[in-house]
């Protein structure tokens, strides 16, 4: 029979929606079943053994009928989208499943959206834990009960309130392309996203959540969670300085075995490299932590899936989110090449006209790079680490060609104040943020606003279409300048605009527009005003009841036709079309 490893489960969601509380509650629930096997602590992760989960669920839900083969669940202890971004491997995530925690009282919020984007990008199956049901007005908590039992004990009004909130959540999730429903109503879990109402505070619904994860992992992920005895593979989850050990790497091992003495390939800031494992450390069980200075126990080997603290030389230069791989025999080049290939997808330096992207970890860089690509934004440089002088120079080169792309996007990295002043003096804008998708949206919104302002400014500088009709009986002066009463039939007229007749000849220039003796800066459609026209003579160049057009310069007419036709009203657009037809009688290429 195929041996299965622990599925790796990560917890994500918006700040304060109860991610840590839910993990703590699940951990506490399992510890209560200690006689069946307690939690094994790992670095950045906790193993929940199958026997303890089944024992917990059996007390609430009755006998578990399905034959379970997986040994338990490995929960990543550091919840949040930032942690999840480091659980990366080529083409996906080392997390087999996720729990997306959503406060049932507040619904989908900013970091919820970010988490969903990451889950979709990594193609990670997940379950929604609709947390804080105990906060629903009138909810009567049933400590540690199953959701079904707790729900049945609520009043009809409270039940309807929860149903309405779940319905709202279903609608919000559909916006992201997910068909979702309450887990009790789902017949096909491959097509429908399960929502499990829970309370991290009272434990209601936690048993169903755990059992559902177990069942889905076993039913749909057997091939994905097969255990292999081969060389270990994982990722550097985070770097931690330990007293007496220096910088150590907390590694989540998702495949194979790692042993003391193994050579380990990983990504350093100067590129892929190899080091030797000096020690493997696991936390001591809680009841053995009598001496806080001796928190770890040495082990000779660790098998997937697990979290382990790796002690080796050179980790002070390691990149969080980096893949790690045990090097077998003389196969060092293959391991380094594989990491280089993976690195080359996201750490890039090109001559493209695109933004400069900096991030704190490889996982964050990948997520940002892919999101920018998805939004159609080209990237010139993408790298890990703080913003440098070189980044500013690169962005300045781009700015000379396209100032909307000559920017730096700095995600969760340090930006020196003097460097930022230098960037500003060069016209290079630096966008900073610690919420990935908000950072990208801030940049895209800025681009949109810049384009809107420039469009408005350019459109405002163009001579617009206008048509006037000389009113019969309203000739106030025949020449030097001619002063006549007119009606603006379409568009707008302004002082300084030249006028042409239907033969395409210029008949004069508007010197002034007046209404009842008051000078106006312009006159729009429907206005009847007096205009003075230089170089015009009534009865010779202009006539009563004649229609005259604003003589739009050819360049302006071309711009209006090609770029701004949608900004003209229907009458102005028609007037422009009439003018073009007039001018092309003598010059067929006019404004083309």
Known binding-site positions for GTP: 13-20, 77-81, 131-134
Q: Residue ranges for the binding site?
A: 13-20, 77-81, 131-134
Indicate the DSSP class of residue 447.
H
Structure token pair of residue 277:
């494992």
Indicate the DSSP class of residue 325.
E
Structure token pair of residue 383:
């790298």
Indicate the DSSP class of residue 158.
H
DSSP states of 245-307 as a string?
A: TEEEEEEEEEESEEETT-EEEEEETTEEEEEEEEEEEEEPPGGG---TT--EEEESEEESSEE
Contacts 24+ apart (CB under 8 A), 157-165: 161/136, 161/137, 162/104, 162/133, 162/136, 162/197, 165/104, 165/105, 165/107, 165/130, 165/136
8 A C-beta contact, residue 513 and residue 559: no
Mark out the alpha helices in 462-566 (DSSP H runs).
Answer: 554-559
Least Cα distance to 512 among 551, 552, 484, 544 occurs for 484
Cα end-to-end distance, the chain, whole Å: 75
* Rg, Å, the chain Cα set: 35
Query: β-strand 355-359 against 180-182: which pairing, if any?
Result: unpaired
| Residue linked to tokens 């704190």 | 360
């Amino acid at each position: 029979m195929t041996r299965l490893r622990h599925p790796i489960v990560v917890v994500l969601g918006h700040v304060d929606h109860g991610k840590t509380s839910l993990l703590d509650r699940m951990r506490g629930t399992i510890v209560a079943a200690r006689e069946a096997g307690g939690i094994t602590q790992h670095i950045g992760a906790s193993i929940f053994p199958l026997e303890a989960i089944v024992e917990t669920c059996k007390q609430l839900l009755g006998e578990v009928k399905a034959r379970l083969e997986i040994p338990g669940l490995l929960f990543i202890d550091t919840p949040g989208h930032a942690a999840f971004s480091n659980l990366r491997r080529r083409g996906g995530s080392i997390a087999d499943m996720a729990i997306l925690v959503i406060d049932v009282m507040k619904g989908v919020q900013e970091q919820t959206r970010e988490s969903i984007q990451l889950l979709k990008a990594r193609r990670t199956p997940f379950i929604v834990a609709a947390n804080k049901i105990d906060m629903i007005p009138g909810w009567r908590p049933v400590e540690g009960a199953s959701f079904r039992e707790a729900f049945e004990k609520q009043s009809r009004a409270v039940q309807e309130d929860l149903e309405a909130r779940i319905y709202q959540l279903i609608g919000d999730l559909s916006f992201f392309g997910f068909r979702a429903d309450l887990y009790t109503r789902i017949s096909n879990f491959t097509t429908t996203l399960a929502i499990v109402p829970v309370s991290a505070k009272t434990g209601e619904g936690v048993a169903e959540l755990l059992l559902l994860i177990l069942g889905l992992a076993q039913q749909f992920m057997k091939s994905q969670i097969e255990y292999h005895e081969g060389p270990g593979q994982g990722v550097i989850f985070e770097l931690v300085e330990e007293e007496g050990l220096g910088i150590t790497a907390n590694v989540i091992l998702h495949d194979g075995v790692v042993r003391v003495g193994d050579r380990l390939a990983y990504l350093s800031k100067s590129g892929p490299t190899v080091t030797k494992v000096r020690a493997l450390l696991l936390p001591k069980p809680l009841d053995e932590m009598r001496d806080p200075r001796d928190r770890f126990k040495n082990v000779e080997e660790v098998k997937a899936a697990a979290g382990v603290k790796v002690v080796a030389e050179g980790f002070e230069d390691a990149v969080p989110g980096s893949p790690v791989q045990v090097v077998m025999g003389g196969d060092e080049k293959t391991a380094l090449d594989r990491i280089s290939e993976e690195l080359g997808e996201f750490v890039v330096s090109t001559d493209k006209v695109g933004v400069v992207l900096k991030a704190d970890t490889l996982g964050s860089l990948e997520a940002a790079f892919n999101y920018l690509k998805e939004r159609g934004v080209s990237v010139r440089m993408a790298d890990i680490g703080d913003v440098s002088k070189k980044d500013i120079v690169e962005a300045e080169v781009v700015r000379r060609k396209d100032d909307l792309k000559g920017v730096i996007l700095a995600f969760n990295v340090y930006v020196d104040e003097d460097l930022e002043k230098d960037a500003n003096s060069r016209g290079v804008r630096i966008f900073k943020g610690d919420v990935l998708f908000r950072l990208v949206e801030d940049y895209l919104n800025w681009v949109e606003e810049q384009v809107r302002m420039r469009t408005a400014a350019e459109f405002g500088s163009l001579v617009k279409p206008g048509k006037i009709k000389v009113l019969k009986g309203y000739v106030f002066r025949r020449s030097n300048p001619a002063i006549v009463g007119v009606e603006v039939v379409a568009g707008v007229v302004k002082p300084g605009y030249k006028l042409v007749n239907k033969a395409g000849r210029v008949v004069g220039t508007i010197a002034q527009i007046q209404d009842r003796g008051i000078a106006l800066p312009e006159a729009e459609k429907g206005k009847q005003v007096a205009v003075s026209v230089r170089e015009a003579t009534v009865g010779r160049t202009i006539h009563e009841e004649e229609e005259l057009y604003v003589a739009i310069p050819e360049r302006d007419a071309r711009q209006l036709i090609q770029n701004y036709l949608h900004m003209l009203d229907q009458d102005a657009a028609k007037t422009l079309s009439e003018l073009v037809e007039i001018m092309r009688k003598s010059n067929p290429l006019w404004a083309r």
